[in-house]
């Protein structure tokens, strides 16, 4: 279940099966409010998409919807 997201403006692929939580938080490196994704191994990544966009993309990937347009 690989989903394409954006990290620091660059395409990033994540395995949604390894995600434990998704929430909005302050990214101390950029001092901005971003979506934070936590994985089963404890690692985290901040992505440019909103929490609702990430949730929708992960759900669609799980359901097999692959009609997203990527640059």
> pLDDT tens digits, residue range 27-65?
999 999 999 999 999 999 999 999 999 999 999 988 887
The better pLDDT of the pair 26, 62 is held by 26
Q: pLDDT at position 36, please?
A: 98
Cα 17 from Cα 32, distance rounded (Å): 27
- What is the DSSP pairing of strand 19-27 with strand 32-39? antiparallel
Q: What 8-state DSSP symbol labels residue 20?
A: E
Contact 70, 4 (CB under 8 A): yes
Q: pLDDT at position 39, please?
A: 97
For residues 20-32, give the mean pLDDT.
Answer: 95
For residues 11-23, give the mean pLDDT.
Answer: 96
Q: pLDDT at position 1, please?
A: 82
């Amino acid at each position: 279940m690989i989903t394409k997201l954006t990290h620091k403006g660059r395409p990033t692929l994540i395995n949604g099966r390894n995600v434990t939580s998704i929430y909005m938080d302050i990214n101390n490196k950029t001092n901005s409010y971003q979506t934070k994704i936590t994985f089963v191994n404890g690692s985290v990544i901040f992505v440019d998409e909103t929490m609702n966009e990430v949730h929708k993309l992960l759900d669609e990937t799980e359901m097999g919807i692959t009609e997203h347009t990527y640059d």
